[in-house]
Amino acid sequence: MNEKLQFSWGHIFAFLAMIMISYLTYTGAAYLYDTNLMVSALWAIGTFFVLFVVFVGTQQLKATEQNFSRNILLERIGVVLSVVVFLLMISISPFKHFWTVYGNRSEITSEFAFAIDSSKSIFENYDTYVDARVNQVLASKNEDKETMAELLKMQLRPTVIEENGTFDYETKEQEILAWIDAAKESSVWNVFMLGNLTEIQEGVESWKTTLESWTEKSFYDGDMAPYQSEFDIVTSFNALKQKYTETKIFQWRAVLWALVGYFFLALPWLLQRRPVKNPYGLLGKKEWTEEYEEENEDSSETEIEQTIVEVDDDDRFEI
């Protein structure tokens, strides 16, 4: 095709809209499918591809300078498909689910912060357990209770020399608590909130197992039972996951922002001029087309009449 595509500021807004819609689709899919980032990426890539083909392709068909009857049909199909894309965005696309999550953002972020704060209780409870167990040793009637208390402290709050440096329980505890606190700053716009959630859950579960293993050894008869964390991080975080995976049939924010996005996506097509010689418009033939055809028919009849020559009877032709 010989297209004269009109690149304008409308394309800038259209591509920004494609990127934004794709990102919100990616984020919405991450919430909907609970951190399945591969599926989320496929949704985002597929969304960008469909938007580009439908909206930019429709503009290209409008700019065509040949095969008018075929390309106007394809252009009309493209316009219909753009409406279908809009309807899919507000119905089944993860784009809609993002706005559902956004509508519940206060509840989700507060629940997220509560779950993270609760996860710190395993360290707080463990420190309380260690102090109680050491005090019980010191209160016992064992002759070597001071030595046992020191050994117990080393066992329950270890300082281990490793190849890459020194492991100190108290330092490590502060690092983990700082890391957990920093994760609370995430918002629903940032898909890494889910990554933090999964990472914290795995980390806390790992530390829970480690702390319980440190307390398994008994130092004397009547020593305290091993530490058992009462905090169930899986149950706490699963309650949060139910919040952000819950779907709604209608989400007015999705409709509003889909309309805004649709307008920006359609700008290249709206700003594209249709070639003057194209006899078709989106809804049918242009107004001048029929008049132009009638004028051509009249001029053709006049030309035919002028070619008729009246021949007199006395005229003779020789071949």
Q: What is the 3-state secondary structure (H, E, C) of 127-157?
A: HHHHHHHHHHHHHCCCCCHHHHHHHHHHHHC
> Could you tell me which residue, 5 or 122, shows the higher pLDDT?
122
* Residue 161 lies inside a defined structural domain of this protein: yes
pLDDT of residue 314 exceeding 70, the answer is no
Q: What's the pLDDT at 313?
A: 46
- Tell me the mean pLDDT in the region 103-118: 81
CA 178, chain centre distance (Å): 28
Q: Based on the domain organization, do 202 and 269 belong to the same domain?
A: no
Q: What's the pLDDT at 165?
A: 57
Q: Is the pTM of this model over 0.85?
A: no
* Residue 313 lies inside a defined structural domain of this protein: no
* Residue 137 lies inside a defined structural domain of this protein: yes
pLDDT of residue 288 exceeding 80, the answer is no
Mean pLDDT over the full length of the chain = 79
Segments forming the whole domain that contains residue 120 = 105-245
Q: What whole-number distance in Å separates Cα of residue 109 and Cα of residue 211? A: 29
Q: Based on the domain organization, do 220 and 123 belong to the same domain?
A: yes
Q: What whole-number distance in Å separates Cα of residue 124 and Cα of residue 121? A: 5
Q: Which of the residue ranges 37-46, 179-188, 238-247 would you say has the lowest mean pLDDT?
A: 179-188
* Residue 20 lies inside a defined structural domain of this protein: yes
158-200 residue pLDDT tens: 876 555 556 678 887 888 888 777 776 777 787 767 777 777 7
Q: What's the pLDDT at 35?
A: 67
Q: Based on the domain organization, do 240 and 154 belong to the same domain?
A: yes
Q: Based on the domain organization, do 200 and 109 belong to the same domain?
A: yes
> Could you tell me which residue, 69 or 7, shows the higher pLDDT?
69
* Residue 305 lies inside a defined structural domain of this protein: no
pLDDT of residue 317 exceeding 70, the answer is no
